[in-house]
């Protein structure tokens, strides 16, 4: 067994783990990042793509925002479509000039990996059979196999950034954790298409045949989604059927339709809302999807993961630099008060925009009234906008 020693062992090289490692490095705190997958997998996995203003500011402040500033697409509004018409929510006007930036999660991951390696700091990719030891003692460690050899990282703290299906959350005894969970009776069928965006901003579309989302990744690639069954069989969806359905749902009274193109990726995403409380047990801290999941309708998942990294980096800095443990003890409260507000927003967007099989005509009319209210009342539009661009951190 090869033994390594560090201050913080980080399991998972997604946005939460990599941002935490970087913020700790800036504060002079040492960490080792351990990741199950390869670098190539981490850098190519297509996930979310909308950064809140708060996330953009943090990337810039942390010195990792240069490519995002060059290549990210700044959006000052979104459109809500229903009853055949689209209505613009002017995010910037409603939030004193804030906006969101369309920049893929895998691009954020690429930038953070590059920065960490340039700093000469370790990421142990393709580490298998990870196991946590002694998280409720003062001497926790992380064990795994790296390049065929058993390794142990001895550390002061472990950051569990290994996602919803990872090993960190289950390492907390059931009697010490409460799980809040809601599954939605639908999923999203998502595609990436080689088609230049033919519309400037994202469209969140409520239609009688279910939700559709028009999004993009770059000046040449569009990203689109369709509400589907949670267990939808992708093989039933030819490219032609996907474009027909997108056209049906997205075409409005003005006749606009998304520009079609070659579909270069297809997948189904499940939809759930999930919160683990607390987000800490002994010397183990949970971040990002390991601790909470939001349905993608509010575009919040990656932003929440990065916010957790900020909260934990500040708490660890308090401990290592100022010898104070209060912020570590307040980690759960510090994250969850904001996480619950973001849960509320993501749930609200989801319920306003999707078809629910058991909705009756009353529910349908109420949903349309909600959309009509949000798109005509400045007060209602402001609540959408301030959540969409990102609530202040640490609230
Ligand atoms: C995306 O582009 O992947 C995307 C955009 C907005 C969302 C969810 C996903 O709400």
3-state secondary structure 306-336: HHHHHHHHHHHHHHHHHCCCHHHHCHHHHHH
User: Which atom number of ligand 1 is nearest to the Cα of residue 102?
Assistant: 2
Residues 63-122: tens digit of each pLDDT: 999 999 999 999 999 999 999 999 999 999 999 999 999 999 999 999 999 999 999 999
Counted domains in the chain: 1
Range(s) of the domain holding residue 33: 2-50+104-180+272-353
Confidence of residue 275 (pLDDT cuts 50, 70, 90): very high
Say whether 331 is catalytic. no
Residue 192 CA, ligand 1 centroid: distance in Å: 11
Which residues does a 6 A CB cutoff place in the pocket of ligand 1? 48-50, 202, 213, 215, 223, 296-297, 299
296 in active site: yes
Of the residues 146, 157, 204, 225, only one is catalytic, namely 204
Average pLDDT over residues 34-39: 98
> What are the tokens at 257?
């339709």
Query: Is residue 373 flagged as an active site residue?
Result: no
Q: Which residue has the tokens 């279910």?
A: 210
Distance of alpha carbon 6 from alpha carbon 362, whole angstroms: 59
Residues 367-395 have pLDDT tens digits of 999 999 999 999 999 999 999 999 998 75
Q: What whole-number distance in Å separates Cα of residue 71 and Cα of residue 65?
A: 10
**Quick one: average pLDDT of 350-363?**
96
Ligand 1 centroid–CA 204 distance in Å is 9
- Establish whether 157 is a catalytic residue: no
CATH of the domain at 173: 3.50.50.60
CA 263 to ligand 1 center in whole angstroms: 17
Measured between alpha carbons, how far is 225 from 154 in angstroms, rounded to an integer?
44
Judge whether 394 lies within some domain. Answer: no
Tokens read off for 33: 């990042």
CA distance 160 to 177: 15
Partners of 189 in the β-ladder: 226, 268
Is residue 63 assigned to a domain?
no
DSSP state of 358: T
Q: What is the C-alpha to C-alpha distance for residues 319 and 321, in angstroms, rounded to an integer?
A: 6
Kindly write down the DSSP assignment for every residue of 190-217, as one continuous string. Answer: EEEEE---SSSS-EEE--TT--EEEEEE
Is position 46 within any domain? yes
Hey, which of 223, 349, 387 would you mutate to test ligand 1's pocket, going by the most ligand atoms within 8 Å of its Cβ? 223
- Tell me what pLDDT residue 48 has: 84
Q: Is residue 334 part of a domain?
A: yes
Decide: 193 and 221 in contact? Cβ < 8 Å.
yes
Q: Which two tokens stand for residue 278?
A: 């607390």
Quick check: is 220 in a domain?
no
CA-proximal residue: ligand 1, atom 6 (nearest): 299
In a domain, 280, yes or no: yes
Q: Ligand 1: distance of its center to the CA of 344 in Å?
A: 17
> pLDDT at position 394, please?
72
Question: How far is the centre of ligand 1, averaged over its atoms, from the C-alpha of 203 (Å)?
Answer: 10
pLDDT exceeding 70 applies to what percent of the chain? 100
Instruction: Give the list of residues 6+ apart from residue 118 with CB closer than 8 angstroms, or none.
Output: none
Q: Determine the atom of ligand 1 nearest the C-alpha atom of 223.
A: 2
In this predicted structure, the answer to whether residue 280 has a pLDDT above a threshold of 80 is: yes
For residue 32, the CA-to-ligand 1 centroid distance in Å is: 31
Ligand 1 pocket test target in 50, 190, 342, 347 with most atoms within 8 Å of CB: 50
pLDDT tens-digit profile of 216-267?
A: 999 999 999 999 999 999 999 999 999 999 999 999 889 999 999 999 999 9
How far are the Cα atoms of 64, 289, 318, 344 from residue 338, in angstroms, in the given order?
Answer: 24, 15, 21, 10
Average pLDDT (193-204) is 96
The pLDDT score that the predictor gives to residue 395 is 52
What is the distance of C-alpha 17 from the center of its chain? 13
Give yes or no for a contact between 275 and 286, defined as CB atoms under 8 angstroms apart. no
Mark 13-52 as b/e (b = at least 16 C-beta within 10 Å).
Answer: bbbbbbbbbbbbbeeebbbbbbbbeebeebbeebbbbbbb
CB–CB of 287/17 below 8 Å? yes
What is residue 248's predicted lDDT score, i.e. its pLDDT?
97
The residue whose CA is least distant from atom 3 of ligand 1 is: 48
139/340 Cα distance (integer angstroms)? 32
Residue 332 domain flag: yes
Q: In what order do the strands lie in the sheet with 280-281?
A: 123-124, 31-34, 8-11, 157-160, 284-286, 280-281
């Amino acid at each position: 067994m090869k033994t390594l020693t560090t201050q913080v062992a980080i399991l998972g090289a997604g946005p939460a783990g990599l941002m935490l490692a970087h913020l700790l490095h800036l504060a002079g705190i040492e960490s080792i990042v351990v990741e199950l997958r390869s670098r190539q997998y981490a850098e190519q996995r297509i996930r979310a793509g909308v950064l809140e203003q708060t996330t953009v500011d943090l990337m810039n402040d942390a010195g990792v925002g240069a490519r995002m500033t060059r290549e990210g697409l700044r959006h000052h509004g979104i459109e809500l479509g229903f009853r055949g018409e689209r209505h613009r929510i002017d995010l910037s006007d409603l939030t004193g000039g804030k906006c969101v930036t369309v920049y893929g999660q895998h691009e954020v991951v690429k930038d953070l990996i590059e920065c960490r390696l340039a700093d000469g700091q370790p990421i142990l990719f393709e580490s298998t059979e990870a196991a946590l030891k002694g998280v409720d003692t003062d001497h926790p460690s992380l064990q795994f196999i790296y390049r065929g050899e058993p390794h142990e990282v001895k550390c002061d703290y472990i950051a569990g950034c290994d996602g919803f299906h990872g090993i960190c959350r289950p390492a907390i005894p059931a009697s010490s954790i409460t799980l809040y969970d809601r599954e939605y009776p639908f999923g999203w069928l998502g595609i990436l298409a080689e088609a230049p965006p033919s519309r400037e901003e994202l469209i969140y579309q409520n239609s009688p045949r279910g939700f559709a989302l028009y999004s993009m990744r770059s000046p040449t690639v569009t990203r689109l989604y369709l509400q589907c069954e949670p267990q939808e069989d992708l093989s039933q969806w030819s490219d032609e059927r996907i474009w027909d359905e997108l056209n049906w749902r997205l075409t409005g009274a003005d006749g606009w339709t998304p520009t079609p193109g070659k579909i270069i990726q297809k997948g189904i995403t499940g939809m759930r809302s999930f919160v683990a409380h607390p987000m800490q047990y002994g010397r183990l801290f949970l971040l990002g999807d390991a601790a909470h999941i939001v349905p993608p309708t509010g575009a919040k998942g990656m932003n929440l993961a990065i916010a957790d990294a900020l909260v934990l980096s500040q708490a660890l800095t308090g401990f290592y630099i100022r010898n104070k443990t209060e912020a570590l003890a307040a980690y759960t409260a510090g994250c969850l008060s904001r996480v619950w507000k973001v849960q509320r927003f993501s749930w609200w967007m989801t319920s306003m925009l999707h078809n629910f099989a058991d909705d009756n005509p009353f529910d349908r009319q109420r949903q349309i009234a909600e959309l009509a209210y949000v798109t005509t009342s400045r007060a209602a539009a402001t609540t959408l906008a301030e959540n969409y661009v990102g609530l202040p951190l640490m609230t």
